[in-house]
Amino acid sequence: MMEQNTIFDKSFEEEISIRRRDLMPIWLKIYVWCGMIIGAALVVTLIATICYLWSTEGINGTWITYLSYVFFLVIVLSFFLKHYLMWMEARQAIVWNIIIGILWFVIFQFILWMNFMSLLVLLEVLIPIPYWIMLFRIKYRWEHVAVSGRKI
C-alpha cells in the first residue's frame, strides 16, 4: 500500500515547542507563586500605609517624604513584577530578575552597612540564592529555545 502524506509528518512533530513554564521545576513554580503573593500583599500594605499616613498627617509632608513613598512603591512593585514576569513567561524575565536582584543586593548591602536588622537582611540575601542558580541554569533555553504559553 502507498502511504499518503498528511500534515502530520515528522517535520510537524519536530516543531512542537517547549513551554517556558515547563523549564521551571516544581519548587521554582512554588517560589514564584509565593513571590507574587508576597509582592501583592506588600503593594496593598504599602498603599494602605501611605493612605493612613496621609489621613493622619495630612499632605503637609516635605518633598523627601513623597520621594520616599515613591521609592518604596517602586521597590515593592519591582519585587512583584520580577515574579509575575516569570510566571507569565516573558522572554526577558530572567534579565529583569538579574537587574532587580542586583538592585536589591545593593539596597540590602546599604541596609547592612547602616546596621539595621543585620540578621534579617542577611537572610533576604541568602534565601534567593537557589532561585538565582536555577535561573542561570535555564537562561539560555528560556530565551532561545522555549516559547511562551500564549504562542502555542
- The neighbouring-strand residues paired with 147 are 19
- The neighbouring-strand residues paired with 19 are 147
pLDDT, tens digit, for every residue of 98-143? 888 888 878 777 766 666 656 666 677 778 888 888 888 988 888 8
Q: Does pLDDT of 30 surpass 90?
A: yes
Q: Does pLDDT of 32 surpass 90?
A: yes
Model confidence at 44, pLDDT cuts 50, 70, 90, reads: very high
Q: What does the block give as the cell for 31?
A: 517560589
Phi-psi region of 146 (alpha: psi -120 to 50; beta: other; left: phi over 0): beta
56/142 Cα distance (integer angstroms): 48
Q: What does the block give as the cell for 7?
A: 500534515
Contacts with 135 (C-beta within 8 Å, 6 or more apart), sequence order = 94, 97, 98
47-63 burial: b if 16+ Cβ within 10 Å, else e: eeebeeeeeeeeeeeee
Average pLDDT score over the chain: 80
Residue type for position 137: R
Q: Among candidates 142, 112, 139, 138, which has minimal Cα distance to 126?
A: 112
Number of Cα atoms under 13 Å in the Cβ half of residue 146: 21
